Chains A and B, each alone.
Chain A
């Protein structure tokens, strides 16, 4: 087994020990189809939880988005995002000549699945913030890729902002039914519908 594989296994066992890392598939099953998973965003652990909930054979083809400036800043951060998670790097600083979605588009063309957090930033409040438009553009450009909403529950209690040591608390990821961009749906309606799809999973996940 290679070093990145070992690191991944170690990481997922720690995540399981701390959070239980349960995946509940309600609207779909974990299958090797090209997909864009989109979820609420509460902590750095969100991605790890989704990654743990996926079957191992899907992990290498399901890629997270990582902010280039932050996740390549040290050799270790760079190594773990590149080798273990196979992340797609995006620039946070906007330049005029480059579309920030371009790396994502490349990955989807290449046949990979993506995990995105359309709120943009982490929010500690209960309800997810309004979604940014990236999801809409990707949905429009890749109508054949399934869009899977997901609700991540309880993670904010494991490691609140500003704390470094996680507390063991059970967390879960609930995956919902695939959705699609309707023929003449406008951006605002679609994004609101997508956000609704994520929020509605919250009741299924059991938290108040």
Chain B
């Protein structure tokens, strides 16, 4: 095993990434076959429903992995563009459900057509210092000014807070994922895709694990009015499980095993708590899912449900990595 790993380390970046995608697509293929088998063998309604649910989740994963793969092949510019589009759709969903007023129009134009492209351009240009303060410092100053000029004092603080939260979660948070592609580790050039993969995989496994544990071993919910399923027990199992998976994956990252464990722990904790916060925001907006299981209403597809954990985990992970390795 050790020899195989050593040999793998000697491969070029694109060979390693090729292997990674072969493994991921292979796993997805197996999962898809399991899904088909599940629906063939389903006798009662409950099992059919479960099979349908499983297949729906798989479809999303297929799309995400394929997009990710295309992004990798096509290079940094295209991956920035893709992540930018995801940000755009997530923000569109957030704003749709936040019920803004007429006076917010100019602020929203700023958010969608200036802040979003500028933030992603800063990632592309590797201006990391400006990139991490552009939104919390400059944009958070500009938005209330523009809103005030619109001459509508009604619920001013609340409206601005909503727009700023939307930008923070959907643009600032998500833009840190492709920023990992642009980090320069010594001896780890052009392998940023592994870091993005590491983050997404670890956080996603943590969330799935939590979901499973929460469903099968009911712990006492922490805040039942916000979420009937979020409990410290399930969260802890999810986070430590995710961290363990991270440690096992250390060989695709520039980290040593212990470092990988620590980084994964940080990412999973941030993702878990962030997802919990998003649940509170959803309850406030009066919806259970951003997508309401397809039967909706505004036409939101529930993209936010899927990216919430990453949105919160990415900035914390990115900052921890930069701080620890002094990049």
Q: Which residues of A contact B (CB under 8 A)?
A: 20, 22, 153-154, 157, 160, 163, 165, 167-172, 205-207
Contacts and interface: CB of A to CB of B under 8 A. Distances in A.
Interface residues of B, number: 18
A169 B92 contact: yes
B298 A153 contact: yes
Contact of A154 (B96, B108, B109): B96
A170 B88 contact: no
Interface of B: 88, 91-93, 95-96, 100, 102, 105, 108-109, 112-113, 296-300
Given A167-B105, A168-B88, A169-B96, A206 B297 contact: yes
A170 B299 contact: yes
Given A157-B100, A168-B88, A22 B299 contact: yes
Return the 8 tightest CB-CB contacts between A and B, nearest first: A206-B297, A22-B299, A170-B96, A167-B108, A20-B299, A168-B92, A170-B299, A172-B299
Contacts of B100: 157
Given A22-B299, A167-B108, A169-B95, 5 more contacts: A160-B105, A168-B112, A170-B96, A170-B298, A172-B297
Contact of A170 (B93, B112, B113): B93
Contacts of A207: 297-298
Given A20-B92, A169-B95, A170-B93, A206 B296 contact: yes
Residue from B100, B102, B113 whose CB has the most chain A CB atoms within 10 Å: B102
A205 B297 contact: yes
Contact of A160 (B88, B91, B102, B299): B102
Nearest to A22: B299
26 contacts: A20-B92, A20-B299, A22-B299, A154-B298, A157-B100, A163-B105, A165-B109, A167-B95, A167-B109, A168-B91, A168-B92, A168-B112, A169-B92, A169-B95, A169-B96, A170-B92, A170-B96, A170-B298, A170-B300, A171-B298, A172-B297, A172-B299, A206-B296, A206-B297, A207-B297, A207-B298
A157 B109 CA distance: 12
A171 B93 CA distance: 10
Contacts of B297: 172, 205-207
The secondary-structure label for the interface of chain A is: loop
Nearest to A171: B299
Nearest to A156: B102
A157 B296 CA distance: 18
Contacts of A172: 297-299
A160 B102 CA distance: 7
Contacts of B298: 153-154, 170-172, 206-207
A154 B299 CA distance: 11
A144 to B, nearest CB: 33
Contacts of B95: 167-169
A117 B109 CA distance: 28
B76 to A, nearest CB: 23
A153 B100 CA distance: 15
A164 to B, nearest CB: 10
Contacts of A163: 105
A168 B92 CA distance: 6
**Most chain B Cβ neighbours within 10 Å, of A22, A168, A205, A207:** A168
Contacts of B109: 165, 167
B96 to A, nearest CB: 4
A206 B297 CA distance: 5
Contacts of A205: 297
Chain A CB within 10 A, most for which of B105, B113, B296, B300: B105
A85 B49 CA distance: 43
B93 A167 contact: no
A153 B112 CA distance: 21
Interface core residue of B100, B112, B113, B299 (most chain A CB under 10 Å): B299
A167 B95 CA distance: 10
Nearest to B296: A206
Nearest to B112: A168
Contacts of B88: 168
A20 B92 CA distance: 9
A174 to B, nearest CB: 10
Nearest to B99: A157
Contacts of A165: 109, 113
B43 to A, nearest CB: 32
B112 A167 contact: yes
Contacts of B92: 20, 168-170
A18 to B, nearest CB: 8
